Chains A and B, each alone.
Chain A
């Protein structure tokens, strides 16, 4: 079965990113397809490569990146929500005249249409948030 996942909260502040990760991983291990993981609201903060958690803690951002690499996951960050919260890729940084970008490996920035498409294309949409 084809799932899409929506993540609405940032890493570390709220469990929803952890729950979404565990759900996504379990679905993939069961042989389901994840059409897309869409990050919205503060969920866009899951995509910053500048995170430095304590060494004895999980690395929420890297964990998503690694899952993406292993399963070729499509991790999409909402551009409007990302711009508000300072998550930029190289193109956006250039376009907005900023001197740095901070998107982590495996994530891409795109529009809200990607969320609607994720709903249309998948059999199920599961929302994790606060």
Chain B
């Protein structure tokens, strides 16, 4: 799908909610996957409890555990959709006792100023 007459905008997806407790993380990912077809300049950031979306080793299926599908593997598939810019807020990660080795995808870790800069550069921000 073409970018609507060649327009390419910077789209930022802001994820600030933990997975499973609410549906926001999953439905946010669904937007990212559909949006990838529009060939826009896409970035994803994970802030606050949003960093838990990327935690390694999530274990649940429709038939076991909490009875909900584990969708965390989809983050690993994003690269195949040319969605490669994933950023994590340093402070949110550290506050939660996590490091990049706890995450199931490669991310770039941003400090406060870098995150603020990234947000300020966007055209469209979809918040979840």
Contact = CB atoms under 8 A, between A and B. Distances in A.
A–B contact, 8 Å CB criterion (strictly below): yes
Interface of A: 6, 8, 40-41, 80-81, 111-113, 115-117, 119-121, 125, 127, 129
Nearest to A115: B31
B41 to A, nearest CB: 11
A81 B1 CA distance: 22
A120 B4 contact: yes
B contact patch SS: mixed
Contacts of A81: 27
A47 to B, nearest CB: 16
A112 B37 CA distance: 11
Nearest to B123: A119
Interface residues of B, number: 22
A116 to B, nearest CB: 5
Contacts of A119: 9, 11, 123-124, 126
Interface in B94-128: 123-128
A116 B38 contact: yes
Interface in B26-42: 27, 30-31, 34-35, 37-38, 40
A8 B22 CA distance: 13
Contacts of A121: 4
A111 B27 contact: no
Contacts of A113: 1, 34-35, 37-38
